[in-house]
Amino acid sequence: MLGKSHRLMAAAGAVFLGASPLCVAAAALGATLPDRIEVVGLPHRGISHWPWPWAVAVWSIQTQQTPWSTLVAWWLAGALFHIGADLFTIGGIPLILPNWRIRFGLLRTGGVGEYVVVALTVIAALMQVFHLQIVRAGGS
C-alpha cells in the first residue's frame, strides 16, 4: 500500500478501537514506521514488517499506563496497522517467521482495489465517529 493509504487505514483502525483523536493522529503518524526504518539497509517487507516485535513493543509500552506511554503505544500500533494492511497485498508480510512471507494477495499497491478498500474503511470509520448507521430498506 501507499504511504497515504497506510496512514488512513491506521487512523481508521484506531477509530474502530475507540482511540482518542490525539491517539488516532499518533497511529496515523506511526503508520509508515515499517518502511521508514528500512533506510538502514533492511530489505523491503523483511524483518521491519514482522509484526511480533512491534506487538511486544506496543504491549510493553502500554503497560506503563502514563499519558505519554499511551501516545507512544498508539504511534507504534500504527506500524501494526501498516503490517496488517500489507498482509492483503500481493507482496505479503513475514507473519510467522521473519524471512517467510505470507500473503492474502488481493490488492496491488496503488491499484484500484487499494483505493476502494481504503475509501470503504475510512467511510466506515467516519460513520462510527458520527454515530451513523446504515438504514435498511423496509425496516428500522
Provide the pLDDT confidence category of residue 140 given band limits of 50, 70 and 90: low
Domain boundaries, the chain: 3-129
Average pLDDT, the chain: 93
pLDDT in tens, 7-40: 999 999 999 999 999 999 999 999 999 999 999 9
Residue 53 has pLDDT above 90, yes or no: yes
Provide the pLDDT confidence category of residue 66 given band limits of 50, 70 and 90: very high
Residue 111 has pLDDT above 70, yes or no: yes
Cell of 94: 513475514
CA 88 to chain centre: 12
pLDDT at 139 (0 to 100): 53
Residue 133 has pLDDT above 80, yes or no: no
Instruction: Summarize the confidence of residues 91-109 as an average pLDDT.
Output: 90
SS3 101: strand
Answer whether 98's CB lies under 8 Å from 42's CB: no
Phi, psi of 88, deg, nearest 5: -95, 15
SS3 93: strand
The secondary structure of residue 22, as a DSSP letter, is: H
CA atoms within 13 A on the CB side of 15: 19
Name 47's Cβ contacts closer than 8 Å, sequence gap at least 6. 53, 94, 98, 99
